[in-house]
Amino acid sequence: MNTIQHELDASGLNCPLPILRAKKTIATLSSGDVVKIIATDPGSVKDFEAFCRQTGNELISSAEADGKFEFQIRKN
Amino acid sequence: MARRMKAAERRTSIIAVAKILFADKGYHGVSVDEIARRVGVSPAVLYQHFASKEALYEGVLDSIAAPRETYVEAALNGPDDFASVLSRMTHVFIDRVEQDPDYFRMELQSALEGGTEAKRFFASRWQSIADYIEYSLRELALVQRVSVVNERTATLLYQGLIREAVYNKCILNSERYKEVTLQELVRQLLQLFFHAVDYKA
C-alpha cells in the first residue's frame, strides 16, 4: 500500500493544466513521495502516461470510476 | 504478379488519398466510393480498415494533427509561466500545420460545410488551448499580472491571430508576409497578444 503524501484535484481542468499542476506539486515533494491526482478530462489518461515517461516519475496506478480519473504518481 | 499490399500499407494509402480529397472537397464533398476508387480498392475493402466515413475522417486528422504527447512535452519542457507555455504549445500547432496545411484546409472546409462531426473534432482540438488561456487569464487577473479582461474574448483574439497567420502563410502564401517566417510572425503576434492583455511576466 502506497502512502499518499499529497492530493491534487484537477477536476474540470483540461490539458495542459492538470499536468502543469502536477509538475508544480511534485516539485515540492521528496523522492519516493506519492501524489494522488483526480482529473475529469478523459485525455488525462494518456497525458499522465506521457507525463511520467517524460519526467521519469513512476505512474503507480491509473483508474477510472464514475467519470473521474485517479492517478497515483511516485516521485523518482 | 503485383505484391498484395499489407494491411498497414493499405491503411496508409487510404489515408493519403482521403486526405487530399477531404482537403480539396470537404467531408460531404467526397464519398467513400470515390475514395475507394482512387485508392484502387472496393468500398468493402475500405470498410475493413475504417468502420465509417467519419472514422476515416478522424483517422486522416489524427494522422496529420500533432499527437497529444507532443503538446504534453511542449507544456512540460521549459518555464511554467503562462507566456512560455502558450508560446511552446502554439509553436507545436503551427509547425505541424506548416508541415501539412491539409489539416487547416480540412478545418476551413468543415467550417463552411457546417457538418457536426468535423466541427466537433476541430472544436475539441482548439478547446484545450482555449481553456488554458481562459483559466490562466482568470488566475493571473487575481494577482494583477494581466488586466481584467473578458477572458473568452481574449481567447478569441488569440485564435484569430494564430488562424490568420496560418491562413496567410500556409493557404494564401501571401506576398505581403513572404519575407517573414510563420514562426517569426506568430512570435510577434503572441507578443501583441500578451501586450493586449497587459501581461506581466
Q: Does the beta carbon of A12 lie under 8 angstroms from any beta carbon of chain B?
A: no
Chain B residue numbers with beta carbons less than 8 Å from the beta carbon of A25 are none
Find the angle CA(B99)-CA(B94)-CA(B49) to the nearest 5 degrees: 55
Q: What is the pTM of this model?
A: 0.89
Neighbours of A46 (CB within 10 A): 14
B74 and B32 in one domain?
no
Q: For B121-149, write each residue's pLDDT tens digit.
A: 788 778 889 999 999 999 999 999 999 99
Contact B131 A19 (CB under 8 A): no
| B105 neighbors B123 (Cβ within 8 angstroms) | no
B12 and B47 in one domain?
yes
Does residue B104 sit within a domain? yes
Task: Respond yes or no: is residue A15 known to be catalytic.
Answer: yes
Does residue B1 sit within a domain? no
Q: Is the pLDDT confidence value at B3 over 60?
A: no
ipTM of the complex: 0.88
Which among B72, B132, B135 is the nearest to A47, CB-wise? B72
Containing structural domain, residue B106: 65-196
What integer is the mean pLDDT of B158-164? 97
B138 and B115 in one domain?
yes
CA distance B119 to B132: 20
Residue B4: partners with Cβ closer than 8 Å, 6 or more residues away: none
Neighbours of A29 (CB within 10 A): 16
Model confidence band, residue B4 (pLDDT cutoffs 50, 70, 90): low
Q: Does the beta carbon of B80 lie under 8 angstroms from any beta carbon of chain A?
A: yes
CATH for the stretch A4-74: 3.30.110.40
B82 and B47 in one domain?
no
Q: Does the beta carbon of B200 lie under 8 angstroms from any beta carbon of chain A?
A: no
Does residue B42 sit within a domain? yes
Closest to B43 measured CA to CA, from B16, B8, B18: B18
Q: Which of residues B62, B94, B109 is at a domain's end?
A: B62
CATH number at B22 reads 1.10.10.60
B88 and B38 in one domain?
no
Dmax over CA atoms of chain A, in Å, equals 31
Contact B80 A24 (CB under 8 A): yes
